Amino acid sequence: MPRVLIADDNPQNADLLEAHLDGTGYDTRIAANGEETLRLAKEWSPDLILLDVMMPRMSGFDVCKRLRADPQTQSIGVLMVTALDQGTDVERAVEAGTDDFITKPINKTELLLRLRAMLAAQNETDPVARGLAYIGRVQQGL
């Protein structure tokens, strides 16, 4: 069963994401801040992290950078989830190492599509091939 870590300091947002994943075959856990996200990423080894950008003390951008810098966590899929929608925010997310970026309000169908596509693309070991496989699966609606 694929593991999805939901990282959001807002309990209502985290609960909504967890509700979207309920009954879909994903094992979920919630982290309420950046430090907890990094700890659970190492201890629980999720396949994918739904990472809120705006968290206190350590932003999602910083969490993503740390995940990518650590050999133990660098291959975990990261889908940043945020209300930010400016081009500069997307650039910062890409620079931090995110696999994709989705804005709030979250569309359940789109979220599940991207999760399935990202998990399926993780079989690719080369980052470029993984990115292309992900894009192809999203376009196909997998």
Of 46, 44, 43, 50, whose CA–CA distance to 10 is shortest?
50
* 55 neighbors 8 (Cβ within 8 angstroms): yes
d(CA 12, CA 8): 9
* 77 neighbors 57 (Cβ within 8 angstroms): no
Longest alpha-carbon distance in the chain: 38
- In which domain, by residue range, is 27 found? 3-106
* 37 neighbors 61 (Cβ within 8 angstroms): no
Q: Which 3 state secondary structure label does DSSP give 17?
A: helix
d(CA 42, CA 46): 8
34 lies in some domain = yes
CATH number at residue 68: 3.40.50.2300
Does pTM surpass 0.85? yes
100: left (phi over 0), alpha (psi -120 to 50) or beta: beta
pLDDT of residue 122: 84
83 lies in some domain = yes
pLDDT of residue 124: 80
pLDDT of residue 87: 65
- Residue 28 tokens, joined: 């979920």
State the distance between the two ends of the chain, measured CA to CA, in whole angstroms.
18
- Splitting the chain (142 residues) into consecutive groups of 10 residues, what average pLDDT does each group show? 96 95 94 97 97 91 96 94 74 86 88 92 81 83 69
Q: CB atoms < 10 A from the CB of 28, how many?
A: 19
122 lies in some domain = no
Based on the structure, what is the number of domains in the chain?
1
Of 36, 23, 25, whose CA–CA distance to 5 is shortest?
36
120 lies in some domain = no
